[in-house]
Amino acid sequence: MISIIDSGGANISSIQFALNRLGVSANLTSNPEIIVKSSHIILPGVGSAGSALQYLKNNALIEVIRSLTQPVLGICLGMQILFDFSEEDNTECLGIISGRINKIKSQDKQVIIPHMGWNTIENIENDFIMKGIDPQSYVYFIHSYAAPVGNYTTATTIYGSPLSAAVRYNNFYGTQFHPERSSVVGSNILKNFLEL
Amino acid sequence: MLAKRIIPCLDIKDGLLVKGIQFRNHQIMGDILEYAKFYSDAGADELVFYDITASTDQRIVNKQWISKIASHLDIPFCVAGGIRTLDDARVILNSGADKISINSPALENPRLITELAKEFGNQCVVIGIDSHENQNDYFVYQYTGNPSKMRPTLRRTQDWIREVQDLGAGEIVLNCMNHDGVKNGYDIKQLTLMRQITRVPLIASGGAGEITHFSAVFNVAQVEGALAASVFHTQSIQIQDLKKYLQTQNIRVRL
């Protein structure tokens, strides 16, 4: 059983549709009992860090998510809130991955924010969910905040400076890009995740 | 490195794909999903679906077709037309659209931009601007989907771009009306001017007729994306050919 955590943001159905295209169905749920029994869990997120955390708090999901031992995939904001803290709304996040989410720096107005569109991923580590993904593959990004490159980084992208495109800590995976909107490359990453 | 985006725009009227010239005389071109899949397979980076009847008829786009598109497409898409409230936007985003684009309703109620950005994040709030050149300046037009309701506003395009950015717009699509549908190239002069004051992604719209028009708009005006409709719908330009050409011009594209 696969669950998508209903984190209150819009745009969750596109993840559901992407899984359907892979021939699997997923529950969209904020019910802790269903979440803990799931084999794979996706934490989406569109909106702001503050509102996403508030939603998880209101639904008593903070501890539930922290204690999960099965594969969890945070997407975009869902990846960011796995970290300790986000500059967006100065939000204390889930604290699963140690580090801070910062606003993307706009040096001399050369870097336009949001980072929106197709960018290449590089420095791809030998991580199962990146299996078969070629360096320099294009994936779709749409974000204004980002994780710096750290020891949790499993792929990078360059936008002004290098940023984390994908991260991992134990069973917690995250992609800053949207695999559900990244054509064949994204679909393969989702497929790899479901095979974990 | 970030690629420049090629964005086919599909004008929707009564659930069908249409294309008019300078916003008038709309011809029916065919089924939305068929075209959407065609473009996605052809290498389009993103699609825009614009319900040209919605804003002037004060009704929201039907969400059924949005879910249908979302279930088949694995590239991002934006829906425009008649979004006047947070609830309108929520329905569209929940149906699977990645972004919403507002135009006339933002002119009626600029605060809507801020409300949408706060609720959904500014990255999914696109502001469409129809800009017309008058006496060496540029002005914003409203209700351009309907020739009988279309009218100029008193807003200068530059002022409106600054205002929508401050209010929370995450992207701007600038449709240069003098160039729309006539296929003699994007309005490089206007887009270059507006690029200098735009801090968010700027998408060029109106005037694409040949592949060299795309290289010009990327190389000279430095926009992040180029939107076009009829050259793609009539297949006078194939997206793969266009992208291969752009690559030879040292423009980074996703191939």
Comparing B215 with B183, which gets the higher pLDDT?
B215
Domain at B72, CATH number: 3.20.20.70
Residue range(s) defining the domain that contains residue B219: 5-248
What is the band of B234 on the pLDDT scale with cuts at 50, 70, 90?
A: confident
Radius of gyration of chain B (CA): 17
Comparing B18 with B72, which gets the higher pLDDT?
B72
Nearest CA in chain A to B78: A11
Closest C-alpha among B230, B228, B229, B254 to residue B240: B254
**For a pLDDT cut of 90, what percent of chain A falls above it?**
84
| Residue B255: inside a domain | no
| Residue B172: inside a domain | yes
All domains of chain A in start order, with CATH: 2-194 (3.40.50.880)
Residue B235 neighbours by CB under 8 Å, 6+ apart: none
Clarify whether A180 is annotated catalytic. yes
| Residue B56: inside a domain | yes
| Residue B154: inside a domain | yes
The catalytically annotated residue of A40, A76, A93, A115 is A76
Clarify whether A93 is annotated catalytic. no
The one-character DSSP state at B58 is T
Torsion sign across C-alpha atoms B75, B81, B87, B91 = negative
pLDDT of residue B238: 97
Q: Is the pLDDT of residue B173 over 80?
A: yes
**What average pLDDT does this structure show over B76-84?**
90
Q: Are B11 and B48 in contact (CB under 8 A)?
A: no
Q: What is the 3-state secondary structure (H, E, C) of chain A?
A: CEEEECCCCCCCHHHHHHHHHCCCCCEEECCHHHHHHCCEEEECCCCCHHHHHHHHHHCCCHHHHHCCCCCEEEECHHHHCCEEEECHHHEECCCCEEEEEEECCCHHHCCCCCEEEEEEEECCCCCHHHCCCCCCEEEEEEECEECCCCCCEEEEEEECEEEEEEEEECCEEEECCCHHHCHHHHHHHHHHHHCC
**Would you say the pTM of this structure is higher than 0.90?**
yes
Digit-coded pLDDT (tens) for A82-133: 999 999 999 999 999 999 999 998 776 678 999 999 999 999 998 999 999 9
| Residue B253: inside a domain | no
Q: Is the pLDDT of residue B249 over 90?
A: yes
pLDDT of residue A51: 85
Taking the Cβ of residue B41 and every Cβ of chain A, the question of whether any pair is shorter than 8 Å is answered with no
CB contact under 8 A, A10 and B120: yes
The answer for B 153-192 residues in CB contact with A (under 8 A) is 170-171
| Residue B41: inside a domain | yes
| Pairwise CA distance, residues B89 & B100, whole Å | 7
| Pairwise CA distance, residues B12 & A76, whole Å | 30
**A123 in the Ramachandran plot: left (φ > 0), alpha (ψ -120 to 50) or beta?**
left
The catalytically annotated residue of A87, A93, A178, A195 is A178
pLDDT of residue B58: 53
Q: Is the pLDDT of residue B176 over 90?
A: yes
What is the band of B66 on the pLDDT scale with cuts at 50, 70, 90?
A: confident
| Residue B53: inside a domain | yes
Comparing B61 with B125, which gets the higher pLDDT?
B125
Taking the CA of residue A56 and the nearest CA in chain B, the distance in Å comes to 16
CB contact under 8 A, A112 and B119: no
| Residue B215: inside a domain | yes
**What average pLDDT does this structure show over B115-139?**
93
| Pairwise CA distance, residues B221 & B229, whole Å | 20
Burial A137-161 (b: 16+ CB within 10 A, else e): bbbbbbbbbbbebeebbbbbbebbe
Taking the Cβ of residue B109 and every Cβ of chain A, the question of whether any pair is shorter than 8 Å is answered with no
Q: Are B42 and B237 in contact (CB under 8 A)?
A: no
What is the band of B53 on the pLDDT scale with cuts at 50, 70, 90?
A: low
Q: Is the pLDDT of residue B28 over 80?
A: no
Comparing B31 with A15, which gets the higher pLDDT?
A15
**In chain B, how many domains are there?**
1
Residue A189 neighbours by CB under 8 Å, 6+ apart: A129, A130, A133, A175, A179, A182
